[in-house]
Amino acid sequence: MIKITVPATSANLGIGYDTLGMAVSLYSHFTFDRAERLTITGCPEEFRNEDNLVYVSFVDALREWDEEPFPVSIDIQTEVPVARGLGSSSTCVVAGIMAAAALTGHTVDRAELVRIATAVEGHPDNVAPAILGGAVCSFTPEGDLPRCLRYEVSDRLRFITIIPPYEVHTSEARKVVPQQIPLSSAVWQMGRIAGMTRGLETGDTDLIAAANDDRLQEPYRRPLIPDYDAIRRTCLAGGAKTLWISGSGSTLMAVTDDTIVAKFLQVRLQESFPGCATHILTCDTEGAQIEYL
């Protein structure tokens, strides 16, 4: 029996549309064992079948290595909400692939995990930080494997995470993003991506705030999150330096380097938005982990 723990992720980090992502200290835990028939527990009834993304990823990885699929028992215990912009699907994909390797005796490094997970998920912005930990800038050269640049994130930073009680599906969020942009917008983004990664490394919240001014996707996705403006005002008035949409939403993340500010702000958010879940998170530096039970 094995247990796999995968961190949640925040994709885009405001300015890095489809390129930046960061692992955070919210986790999904998956337990696997060989079994006589497929059984899945810990998730809603409609997902306890062969279409479960964890099992689909498990089977896809086995076929990658020319292994025949076999039944397993899977238990899922997760802190990561579905369709909220925290990489819940990536945790499932990564866990399925790692379990397939472990239960068949394959040794895979993290680069191989990223390659297979990207093939399953379709893009590396969430799976790469989930596997590698830290903040990651990912891109895939034409006809080549994903390239991942990993950045350490200052342990001074705290990410106040606000999770509204409604979903924003990635497919809907992508529809509102323009497919063509002016050259000036591309130039605007490029310098700020460098500023964001440097700010995260050094813990410079003023630099993070200056860099976090997206023109590609956030202006178009904000209307999909009814509480966006009110939460943003509350966070900035409460001492946070800046705020971004996590992935395609609906989760929002505010940034501070002061733990007292983070705790006071969490209380204020809980009072003002009682329907939202709030967490004070740090960057997860380890990425996905496996344990033999």
Q: Identify the bridge partners of residue 23 per DSSP, sorted by sequence position.
A: 9
275 marked ligand binding residue: no
Q: Which helix (H) or strand (E) holds 2?
A: strand 2-11
- List Cα–Cα distances, 201 to 119, 174, 195, 197, in angstroms: 29, 29, 10, 6
86 marked ligand binding residue: yes
82 marked ligand binding residue: yes
16 marked ligand binding residue: no
End-to-end CA gap in the chain: 5
Nearest CA to 246 among 7, 22, 29? 22
Q: How many residues does the chain have?
A: 293
Which tokens go with 72? 């397993």
DSSP H stretches of helix in 38-141: 53-64, 88-104, 110-121, 127-132
83 marked ligand binding residue: yes
37 marked ligand binding residue: no
90 marked ligand binding residue: yes
133 marked ligand binding residue: no
84 marked ligand binding residue: yes
Which tokens go with 68? 């025949």
Q: Identify the bridge partners of residue 158 per DSSP, sorted by sequence position.
A: 256
Nearest CA to 114 among 83, 82, 136, 86? 136
Q: How far apart are CA 54 and CA 38, in angstroms?
A: 12
Q: Contact at 8 Å (CB) between 146 and 139?
A: yes
Amino acid residing at 61: A
Q: How far apart are CA 201 and CA 188, in angstroms?
A: 21
Binding site feature residues for ATP: 81-91
Binding site feature residues: 81-91
